Amino acid sequence: MAFILKTSVAGNALSFKRYPDIRVLNSIVSDQSEEGGYVAVGIGQREKLSDSTGAIMLSTDFDLVPRCAKDVRGSLLWNNEDTSGGFTSVIQYDRDTFAMVGSMSDGQIQPSQNVLVTIANTQCEILLSRHYGQGVEAENGQEYRYDETGTSITVVGKHLFIAGVTQKSTVGVCTDPVFRDILLFRINRVGNVMFMKQYDHDGKEDIAYAVTKRNRRTRPVLTSFPPKPTRPRVDIFIAGSSVSKSFNGKVENDDVFLLNTNMWGNIKSFEIFGGAWDDGAYQANMDLEITPDSNVLIQANTKSFTSKQATDQYTFLIERYDSILKQCYDLNLNLKCWPIPFS
């Protein structure tokens, strides 16, 4: 059963509500419009099929009383209950609408998972809901299933940037995935894909958990009076977990990665943070923010930098600077990138 707890700045409980029809809420955002309230997203359990889960959005007023809830299926099998999925993240898209991302399978014999992106208002009216992914494809007589999951979302103007993971598996064979890599794509205001890219470090597992943007406005060019302002430069930052031997030459461990791209997904830098033990993260406890002085702040987990190494996970807080005299537990690495076919 999902719940929302609202507290004061001091941590004192102000209100608490349970929502029996929702299994879990993964993300919540405050409604910044005059109406106020909150929008949360997560996973709901459908009654007719016990194994079928829904991508749920919940809209509440300021006191957490529900205004509405919606089981979103996107564009897959609208009349078929046999779809499963859920939302992982929600942001405010503009003044009175919200963008949310997650994943959903189509319920076929070999179900493939696609990224689900939805834009809705506080009355749970769906303005846009689409799936993005490759499905099942044949290569040299062998079928492969492509699964894509959206884990985080950010907005630049009216365009959405979605980060997550793309995985390729052999159909009918119980083996490890062919790859499990970072996914990043951009859609415009009507849901059309501007680019979709896959990133891989060292042929191992790389999973994106958080994405954000950083605006950098360049100085006006003094060729006219008054000076004409220039368009802002935007950096996209993606954080997640990457399997590597970067800090331990013998054993593969999870490390935190930070990928910096431009607006078209072109790599500007790729960095790994960690130590001799696992220092990766899980989606529920990884966060990525831009500080007021434009540095990047990452919250993750660590086993390397604790008094009880290799036994307990502790909070790992990283502040990454653009230019520093000393780099601690930080490696700049090469990253492979290639476009993903999309329609």
Return the ∠ at Cα 109 (arms to 103 and 114), rounded to 5°: 15
Query: Exposed (0-12), middle (13-18) or buried (19+): which is 310, by Cβ within 10 Å?
Result: exposed
**Which band of pLDDT confidence, cut at 50, 70 and 90, is reported for residue 296?**
confident
Pairwise CA distance, residues 31 & 34, whole Å: 8
Confidence of residue 110 (pLDDT cuts 50, 70, 90): low
> The tokens 């499990």 sit on which residue?
180
Q: Give 74's DSSP letter.
A: T
pLDDT of residue 99: 97
* Sequence-distant (≥ 6) Cβ neighbours of residue 55 within 8 angstroms: 41, 43, 44, 71, 72, 73, 74, 85, 86, 87, 100, 102, 104, 116, 118
Q: How confident is the model at residue 174 (pLDDT cuts 50, 70, 90)?
A: confident
pLDDT band of residue 310 (cuts 50, 70, 90) is low
Q: Which residue is listed with tokens 């159909």?
A: 171
**DSSP notation for 161-226:** EEEEEEEEEETT--S--SEEEEEEEEE-TTS-EEEEEEEESTTS-EEEEEEEEEEEPPPPBTTSSS
The pLDDT assigned to 343 comes to 44
Which of 120, 118, 117, 144 has its CA nearest to residue 132? 117
Q: How far apart are CA 243 and CA 196, in angstroms?
A: 23
Of all residues in the chain, what percent carry a pLDDT higher than 70?
71
CA distance 269 to 259: 6
pLDDT (tens digit per residue) in 125-173: 999 999 898 877 788 888 888 889 999 999 999 999 999 999 888 887 7
